[in-house]
Amino acid sequence: KKKQSTLTDFFKKS
Amino acid sequence: MFEARLTQSAILKKVLDAVKDLLSEATFECSDSGIQVQAMDNAHVSLVSLNLRSDGFDKYRCDRNLSMGMSISCMSKILRCAGAEDTVTLRAWDSPESIVFIFESPNKDKLAEYEMKLINMDQEHLGIPETSYSCVVKMPSAEFTRICRDLSQFGESITFACTKEGIKFSASGDYGSANIKLAQTADADNEEEAIIVNMQEPVKLTFSCRYLNCFVKAGPLCNQVQLSMSDDVPLVCEYKIGDIGHIRYYLAPKIDD
């Protein structure tokens, strides 16, 4: 089973 | 003041069609170099990065940098009021509270002005590092649209598997499964129809159909779409906008629970 990741898991807030 | 003029309002109409299903509002950053938008959907799963270079406009003037928060649905409604052949001009004064859209018919006998109030927005900006991707695939945008639409019937997500031979898209669900393989085209005589695979490492990634079907709304902007992929990082789906810029969509993958 796969879950949806979010972009904030990968990219830093600037 | 800020003034940007495009002879073909159709380009801006298509850009709005390409973002309106993902974004309800966005900040348009205007500077000497052009107009930029970076905005995530509410769930922070996808991001739209739009770049329109100032030299791509027929007239462009931006005396000082402006950040203008705009309602995408309102902007979309206004652009629907432009005739297919109309010229569009965006105009705002320094420290603006509104922006004006001016549509002019080709023979200049009709001039329509629409003023839209700007909105104050808290914006979250993401730093996206320049990355080299394991696989970069170029393919006809109409083909990508069709594949996303067709495979969406079978499941909520589509798995992209790329090797040096080509790219395979697959989906499965309660009713069954489907997969579509595209081989790299041998001769690139027709650039618009070409499928080109640049692979360093094979990749396999799974993405939500819902977002992919929003991205393909940019298909009318460009005959080709470029997909950049590495294992376990967001997909980049890029459409060029004529000679004026590009729209890039980033999509977070589905990962093992």
The answer to whether residue B122 neighbours chain A at the CB level (below 8 Å) is no
- Kindly report, residue by residue over B16-36, the tens digit of the pLDDT: 999 999 999 999 999 999 999
A11: closest CA of chain B, how far (Å): 6
DSSP strand pairing (B126-127 vs A12-13): antiparallel
- Kindly report, residue by residue over B53-67, the tens digit of the pLDDT: 999 999 999 999 999
Distance, in Å, from the CA atom of B176 to the CA atom of B143, rounded to the nearest integer, reads 22
Contact B25, B121 (CB under 8 A): yes
Smallest CA-to-CA distance from B139 within B191, B83, B98 is with B191
Does B126 sit within 8 Å of A7, measured CB to CB? yes
Decide if pLDDT at A14 tops 90: no
- To 5 degrees, how large is the angle CA B224–CA B230–CA B232? 130
- Kindly report, residue by residue over B163-221, the tens digit of the pLDDT: 988 999 999 999 899 999 999 987 767 888 899 999 999 999 999 999 999 999 999 99
Distance, in Å, from the CA atom of B181 to the CA atom of B88, rounded to the nearest integer, reads 42
Burial B171-180 (b: 16+ CB within 10 A, else e): beeeeeebee
- Kindly report, residue by residue over B70-90, the tens digit of the pLDDT: 999 999 999 999 999 999 999
Rounded to two decimals, the ipTM of the complex is 0.96
Residues of A in contact with B40 (CB under 8 A): 7
